[in-house]
Structure 1
Amino acid sequence: MATALDQTDSTTRSHYEWQYLDLMRRIWAQGDERIDRTGVGTRSVFGAQLRFDLSGNRVPLLTTKRVYWKTAAREFLWFLTGDTNIRTLCAQGVQIWTDWPLDRYRKATGEDIARQAFSDRIVADADFAAQWGDLGPVYGKQWVDWPTYEAAGEGLFRAGPGVNQVAQVVESLKNNPGSRRHIVEGWNVAELDRMALPPCHKTYQFHVADGRLSCLLYQRSCDVALGLPFNLFGAALFTRMLAQQAGLQPGALVWMGGDTHLYLNHADLVEEQLSRTPQGDPRLEIARRPDSIFGYRIEDFAVSGYTPQKPIAAPVAV
C-alpha cells in the first residue's frame, strides 16, 4: 500500500509549501540516522535551502498544519527586548522556552511538577522566576546587547557598552543600503556554555536591491517538523519590520540549514503531514510603522487568507 513517503518529487508544483514538504520527505526517506544530543535520535541531511517570495505581503506560513503565528510573533518581539527570562512569555501563554528551565528545575529539586504548574509559578512569583526562569544570554541578549569589554588598568578589563546589532542594521539599511555587513549574529562563542540552548537560527544577513529587502537566514541546527515552521515565519516577520523601518519593500527570504533533521519519534507527524496538500495564499499585514523597530506590538500584525489544516501534535526533544 502506498504511503505519503512514496510520492514522486513535487518541486515543479507552484505552491511555496511544496519545497518544505519535499525537504521533509527527503530527510525521512534518505537522511542519515544519528544519535543526537537529546538521545531521541534523528534522520538528518546536511545543507538545505528554501526560498520564499515576500513581495505583496506574502508570508511562508505552512498550510498543511496550523502554525500558531501569534505565538511565533510574541517570541520574536520578546527577542527584540533582550529579555532572557521566560516570565514575560509565560504571562502571555507562550511555552516555547518553558521545557528547558523546567527540565533544570526537575533535575535540581526532584520535584515532578507539571509544565503548566511550573509556568504558573514563574508568572506568580518573581523570585522563583529569577531563580529558575532565566535562560542565560540567549538570542535577544546577543542581538541587542552583545557584551563588550574595555581596559580598566594593566591586565584588567571591565564590561563596556553592549552592542545593539538590530539597531545598527536598521541604521545601515537606511544610510548604506549597499553594504554587505547587514548582519545580526547570535553565535557568541564566549557565552555558549551559559545558554540554555545555543542559537539554532544563528545568522541573519540582509541584502538590498532595487528598493527591496531580502533576508538570508542560516540555521546551524533545524528541527524541521516543529522548529522550522516558526523560524520561517519569524524570519519573514523580521524582514518585514526591518523593511518598513528602512523605507524598503520586502523581497525574498532565503533559508539555509546546516544539520537539518527530523526526530525519530515524529514518524506519525511526518506521515500525516506528507499526506496533505498545500492550499491558500496567506498575507501578513502590519498596521502601523512605529518610531523604532523596538516599538512593535502583537496588535500591529494581522494575517489574512490563512486557512490551515488541523494541527499535528508531536513531542519536543529537550
Structure 2
Amino acid sequence: MTNHPEQQYLDLINHLIHKGDRRMDRTGTGTLSTVGAMMRFDMSGGAFPVYTTKRVFWKTAVKEMLWFLTGQTNIQSLLRENVRIWTDWPLAAYRKATGEEISQEDFEGRIVADDEFASKWGDLGPVYGKQWRRWLGADGKEYDQVAEVIATLKSNPSSRRMLFHAWNVPELGTMALPPCHMTYQFYASGLGREEPPKLSLMVNQRSCDIGLGNPFNICQQAALLAMVAQQVDMTPSELIWVGGDVHLYLDHMEMAETLLSREPRPFPTLTLARKPASIDDYKIADFEVVGYDPHPAIEAPVAV
C-alpha cells in the first residue's frame, strides 16, 4: 500500500537511516537527524491516523491530550489514569536531589497516594497545559489560548490568527522539558456553504523523536482536531504536521528496521460518542475507535 498515508512516516524513517546527520544529543544517546519534514493526513472521511506498523496505545495518547487541556502540570492525575509517560523527568529529579534509588513503581505509588509528596515532586513546571490554558502575561493576567481559538472559530472563522503555542521564553528554564510540539494553527475552509465548514490543523514541532514520540503526537493531535471541530460545528479535514529537528535515536535502529519491514494497514475510524458542553468536558470514553488492527507493539527505550 505505497499510497497509504502512513507511508509518509516510513519514508521519513528511511530517510533518517540512509541520509540522517549522525550527531550527539542532549540525552547522550546519539541520533540520526534531519531538519524540515511534513506529513499530511486526511481525516475528512472519519479516518483516525493511528499508525499501524506497530501498535500505538492511542488511549494513552488521547489521555495525555485531555490532560494538556485541563491546564494541569502535575503527573498525579496522569498516573491515576495509568499514564506513565511523564514520570521519567520528576523521578530523575527526585533521585538526584535525594540520592534515593527509588524504583519507578514505588515513586509513582507515592505520587498517587500522597498529595503533599506529589505537590513537591510530581510537578513538571509550566509545561504545555499551563501555557495553553493559563499563560501568564507581563500584565499579570492569565490567558486561555485554547478558549480564544474556539471563540474565534465561532465568530471569525476566516481569521489568520487562530493559533496557540507553548514556547514561553521566560519560563522555559523551569519546565521539565521545553515544548516539542510548539504551535497549533487552525484553518477553516468551505465557509458560507450549505454543508458544514471543514477544519484543518497544522502543528509545528521543533523537536521530534520519530520512533516513540511521533506516533503518539499524530494520534493525539488528530484527537484534538476532532474535538475542536465538533465544538465549532465543523468537520475534521486535514492534520498537517511539520517537523523541525526530526531524529531517530541510535538505540531505536532495530525498531526502525522492523517498522520498515511491515506493510501499513487501513487506519481506524474515530467517532465522538457525544458532544460535551465545552472543550473541557471530554472523557476518554467519548472516543470510539473502530477497525484498529495494527502489527504488534515494539518495545524501545525512552531517552531522558
- Superposed pair shares fold, TM > 0.5: yes
Alpha-carbon separation, structure 1, partners of 2:138 and 2:260: 50
Structure 1 counterpart of 2:49, one-letter code: P
Q: In the alignment, which of 247, 253, 256 is matched to residue 270 of structure 1?
A: 256
Alpha-carbon separation, structure 2, partners of 1:280 and 1:112: 44
3-state SS of paired residue (1:253): strand
Tell me the equivalent position of 2:207: 221
User: Displacement, 1:285?
Assistant: 0.9
1:19 aligns with 2:8: yes
Tell me the equivalent position of 1:85: 74
8 Å contact from structure 2 (residues 164, 184) kept in 1: yes
8 Å contact from structure 2 (residues 23, 31) kept in 1: yes
Deviations 1:206-246, CA, capped at 9 Å, x for gaps: 00111100010000000000000011011111111111001
1:240-255 matches, cutoff 5 A? 240-255=226-241
1:171 aligns with 2:157: no
Deviations 1:13-39, CA, capped at 9 Å, x for gaps: 221111100101101111001111111
Structure 2 counterpart of 1:254, one-letter code: I
Alpha-carbon separation, structure 2, partners of 1:268 and 1:314: 9
Structure 2 counterpart of 1:77, one-letter code: L
Tell me the equivalent position of 1:3: none
Structure 2 counterpart of 1:30, one-letter code: K
Q: In the alignment, which of 282, 292, 296 is matched to residue 278 of structure 2?
A: 292
8 Å contact from structure 2 (residues 47, 269) kept in 1: yes
Tell me the equivalent position of 2:46: 57
Tell me the equivalent position of 1:207: 187
Structure 2 counterpart of 1:280, one-letter code: P
Alpha-carbon separation, structure 1, partners of 2:18 and 2:56: 24
Tell me the equivalent position of 1:101: 90
Structure 1 counterpart of 2:161, one-letter code: R
- RMSD of equivalent CA atoms: 0.9
Runs of 4+ in 1 over 3 A off after TM superposition: none
User: Displacement, 1:161?
Assistant: 2.5
User: Displacement, 1:57?
Assistant: 1.3
1:4-153 matches, cutoff 5 A? 13-150=2-139
Structure 1 counterpart of 2:238, one-letter code: A
Tell me the equivalent position of 1:312: 298
3-state SS of paired residue (1:55): coil
Q: TM-score, normalised by structure 2?
A: 0.97
